[in-house]
Structure 1
Amino acid sequence: MILRHPLSDIQSENIGDNTRIWQFCVILKDAKVGQNCNICAHVLIENDVEIGNNVTIKSGVQVWDGVTIEDNVFVGPNVTFTNDLFPRSKVYPKSFERTLLRKGCSIGANSTIVAGVVIGESAFVGAGSVVTKDIPSGTLWYGNPAKMKGYIAEDGTVVKL
C-alpha cells in the first residue's frame, strides 16, 4: 500500500509498497519509485527518473529527467539537480545528461548536483556543496566546488584528511 497525501498529484503507477508521499508532491506518469521510500512535501519527480528502495527525499527537491537514485540514499532538503549543461529557454537537448546516486550515499541540504555526475556508494556530500565532478565511493566531500575532505569508514565514522 502507498501512503499518499490527498494534496499530492501522483500520476505514476510505478510506486512501491510502503512508500509515503506527502502534500504538494508531483510525480509524473513514467517515474519509478521503489518500496519504503519517504517523499517529503513539495517534491517534483519527472518522467525519466528511477528511485530505488528505502530512499528519503526531503522537502523542496526537484528530481529532473535523467536522474537515477539507487537504494538507501538520503537526499536532503532543497537539494538541486540539473540535467542540462547548457540550458536555454525553449531549446531542448536531444537527451538529458544522466546523473547517478549510488547505493547508500547522502546529499546534504541545499547542495547542487551538476548534470552528468556519479556519486559513489556510501559517499557523503556536505550541506551547501556544489558537486561538479564524480565522487568516489566511501568519500566525504563539501564546499563550492565540492572537494574531497575525508573518507567514510565501513562503520560509518568520518576520517578527515
Structure 2
Amino acid sequence: MGPCPWQNMVSKRQGTSHESWGILNWSDSMTGGERIDLPNRSVAWAPCYIGKYCKIGADVSIGCLAHIGRNVMLGDGVRIQGGAYVADGTQVANGVFIGPNATILNDRYPPSRNASKWEMVTLEENAVIGGGVTILPGIHVGSNAVVGAGALLTKDIPADEVWIGNPAEFHMTRKAYEEARS
C-alpha cells in the first residue's frame, strides 16, 4: 500500500487545490455511478470522497457517496458500501465489510478541530459492520466480529462475536452466525 496518487487533484468547481478535496468530488459534470479504477485492482464509484494520505490495499471497493477521511488505512479486500462515513485516522484491516450508511466517528466532543483529541477506531480482519451502524470514537472491533444493522457501538467488541441493538450488546458467536447463514 502507498499514499493515494490523486491527493493533489485540482477541483474544477473551486479552481484550486484544497486540503479537503480528495477524489471523485471534483467534477460538476461527473455522473453518478461512474467507475474509477484505483491502483492495486481497487475501485471507487463516483461521486465519493477519499481524503489525503489514505493507504488503500489491493482489491478494495468504495461505494458511491462514501466519505473516507484523511489518513485512513484500508487493508486488502475491504468493501465499503455507498453512503458510509469513515472518519480521519480509522484503521480498517484486510477483508472488512462496511455496510451502507455506516458511520465511524473519531471526535467524542465535536467539533474539536484538534486532531490530538480524536480517538481513532480500529476494525480488525474480516469484521462485518452492518448497514446504518454507528461506531463511537476509540472503539476496537475484533477480528471476525459482526455488528448488526442499525446498531450503536459504544464499547469494544471481542473477536468472533456478533453484537446488535442500541446500544449494541452480545447476541451470538460468529460460529452460530455462520451456521444461521448457511
> TM-score, normalising length from structure 1?
0.84
AA matched with 2:118: F
Give the unaligned 5+ runs of structure 2. Answer: 1-22, 27-37
Residues 1:8 and 2:24 are matched in the alignment:
yes
> Aligned runs of 1:80-119 on 2, under 5 Å?
80-88=103-111, 91-119=113-141
**2:81 corresponding residue in structure 1:** 58
- Structure 1 residue 84 displacement after superposition: 0.7
Q: Return the match for 1:30 from 53, 61, 78.
A: 53
Give the unaligned 5+ runs of structure 1. Answer: 1-6
Separation (CA, whole Å) in 2 of partners of 1:27 and 1:124: 25
SS at match of 2:178: coil
**2:91 corresponding residue in structure 1:** 68
> TM-score, normalising length from structure 2?
0.75
Please give the root-mean-square deviation of Cα atoms over the aligned residues, in Å: 2.2
Moved >3 Å (runs of 4+): none
Structure number, greater radius of gyration: 2
SS at match of 1:157: helix
Separation (CA, whole Å) in 2 of partners of 1:17 and 1:40: 17
- Structure 1 residue 9 displacement after superposition: 4.3
- Structure 1 residue 55 displacement after superposition: 0.5
AA matched with 1:79: A
Q: What is the identity percentage for the equivalent residue pairs of Structure 1 and Structure 2? A: 33
The alignment of Structure 1 onto Structure 2 pairs a total of residues equal to: 148
Question: Larger % of helix: which?
Answer: 2
Separation (CA, whole Å) in 2 of partners of 1:53 and 1:19: 9
1:16–1:120 CA distance, 2 compared to 1 (3 A):
farther
Q: Return the match for 1:77 from 82, 93, 100.
A: 100
CA contact (8 A) 1:129 1:143 kept: yes
Question: Larger % of strand: which?
Answer: 1
Q: Return the match for 2:168 from 122, 146, 150.
A: 146
